[in-house]
């Protein structure tokens, strides 16, 4: 089974290569940049190309993995990759209005072989029945940041509010019978840029949680992130009760409700960080840059949360429904329910069938989550009195 996770890692890197190629190679970048020009007659073409990048990434993942999973996809696949690079060039030329340079550059990346090795993954061999595996894919999360292409955004204590660093490729595997996330891969294609070549390097994160086996890619080095710049209160809290605002840090959406922002400012002080991309915000929790990712709206979906949820489960954390948390009595209420990935929302249509309707909270420490929630609920109650 570690072989399947390794395949997911390889295909995520191939997807990242496609995402980077669309930004780095001049012929492709010129198509993307057209979307930024107001009043251009071919603006729709640039939007179509953005969709093509999404579809290419998704199709590469699907083609490599469809014989191993029950696929649940957020969007229809409208493009089938060809067996050979030459045939893919011909197909892409039709889609890209005869732009042969762009077609050749993209086809080369699509058909390029990728290998992946990780000693932690190589040391584990577990057996999960293949016929229970479903998969959620977000081919390019934070497409707005991807198209905008900002490469010079400065981080705030290691967290990027916007820019290409917020773009992620998300592949999550879940149990189709229980909906529990089992394996997750987050590929961040744009982590650092070479100032001479302007080429980007990325980073890949993974986790696997099945029965008693819990492994993840940050196992050996997670404590290294708790530096003075990116320190996160993950293990100990020396603050007194009166200073509880310094216990927690959170990443939020720029569109978060004002009531939640106000409560968070009292719980976390100045350690509330806005950032783009649902996948990236979850990754900030995975990396240990913050303790909590909280979102109160219903505009994230199963393909946004499945991959990071699987990684967080492997680390001892998880993702829960925010609305259920706030309505629950911590003394007498039921245990916090994890998000699941196999059941549609009743009465919903379109993509809303797979929305995380009650919002979400991503966390790495269950004990810390309970303490955070008690402070958050108290401050939300104070807001309404």
Binding positions for Mg(2+): 75, 138, 140-141, 304
- The residues, any chain, with a CB within 8 Å of residue 268's CB and separated by 6 or more, are 245, 248, 249, 250
3 state SS of 321 = coil
β 70-71/133-141 pair status: parallel
- The residues, any chain, with a CB within 8 Å of residue 18's CB and separated by 6 or more, are 53, 56, 57, 60, 106, 109, 110
β 200-210/213-216 pair status: antiparallel
Helix residue spans in the chain (DSSP H): 2-24, 26-33, 43-65, 85-95, 100-110, 119-122, 143-148, 258-268, 278-287, 302-314, 322-327, 366-383
- How many CB atoms sit inside 10 A of residue 228's CB? 6
Binding positions? 75, 138, 140-141, 304
- Round to whole Å and give the CA distance between 188 and 32: 20
Q: Cα separations (Å) of 38 from 46, 142, 207? A: 12, 21, 42
> What sign has the CA pseudo-torsion 284, 287, 292, 297?
positive
- Round to whole Å and give the CA distance between 51 and 56: 9
List the strands of the sheet with 292-295, edge to edge. Answer: 272-274, 250-252, 292-295, 360-363, 318-320
- Round to whole Å and give the CA distance between 295 and 281: 10
- Round to whole Å and give the CA distance between 156 and 250: 13
């Amino acid at each position: 089974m570690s072989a399947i996770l390794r395949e997911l890692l390889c295909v995520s890197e191939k997807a990242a290569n496609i995402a980077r190629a669309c930004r780095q190679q001049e012929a492709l970048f010129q198509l993307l940049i057209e979307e930024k020009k107001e009043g251009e007659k071919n603006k729709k073409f640039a939007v179509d190309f953005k969709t093509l990048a999404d579809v290419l990434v998704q199709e590469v993942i699907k083609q490599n993995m469809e014989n191993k999973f029950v696929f649940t996809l957020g969007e229809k696949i409208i493009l089938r990759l060809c067996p050979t690079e030459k045939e893919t060039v011909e197909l892409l030329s039709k889609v890209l209005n005869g732009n042969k340079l762009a077609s050749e550059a993209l086809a080369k990346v699509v058909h390029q072989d990728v290998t992946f090795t990780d000693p932690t993954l190589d040391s584990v061999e577990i057996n999960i029945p293949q016929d229970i595996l479903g998969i959620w894919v977000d081919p390019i999360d934070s497409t707005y940041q991807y198209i905008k292409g900002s490469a010079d955004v400065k981080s705030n204590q290691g967290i990027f509010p916007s820019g290409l660093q917020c773009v992620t490729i998300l592949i999550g595997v879940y149990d189709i019978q229980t909906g529990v996330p089992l394996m997750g891969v987050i590929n961040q294609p744009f982590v650092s840029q070479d100032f001479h070549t302007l080429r980007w390097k990325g980073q890949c994160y993974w986790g696997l949680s099945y029965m008693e086996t819990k492994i993840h890619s940050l196992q050996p080095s997670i404590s290294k992130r708790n530096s003075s710049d990116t320190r996160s209160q993950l293990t100990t809290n020396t603050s007194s009760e009166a200073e509880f605002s310094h216990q927690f840090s959170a990443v939020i959406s720029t569109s978060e409700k004002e009531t939640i922002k106000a409560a968070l400012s009292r719980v976390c002080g100045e350690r509330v960080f806005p950032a783009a991309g649902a996948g990236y915000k979850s990754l900030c929790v995975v990396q240990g840059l913050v303790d909590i990712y909280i979102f109160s709206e219903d505009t994230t979906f199963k393909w946004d949360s499945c991959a990071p949820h699987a990684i967080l489960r492997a680390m001892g954390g998880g993702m829960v429904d925010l609305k259920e948390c706030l309505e629950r009595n911590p003394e007498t209420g039921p245990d916090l329910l994890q998000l699941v990935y196999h059941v549609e929302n009743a009465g919903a249509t379109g993509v809303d069938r797979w929305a995380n309707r009650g919002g979400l909270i991503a966390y790495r420490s269950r004990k810390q989550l309970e303490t955070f929630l008690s402070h958050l609920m108290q401050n939300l109650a104070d807001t309404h009195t």
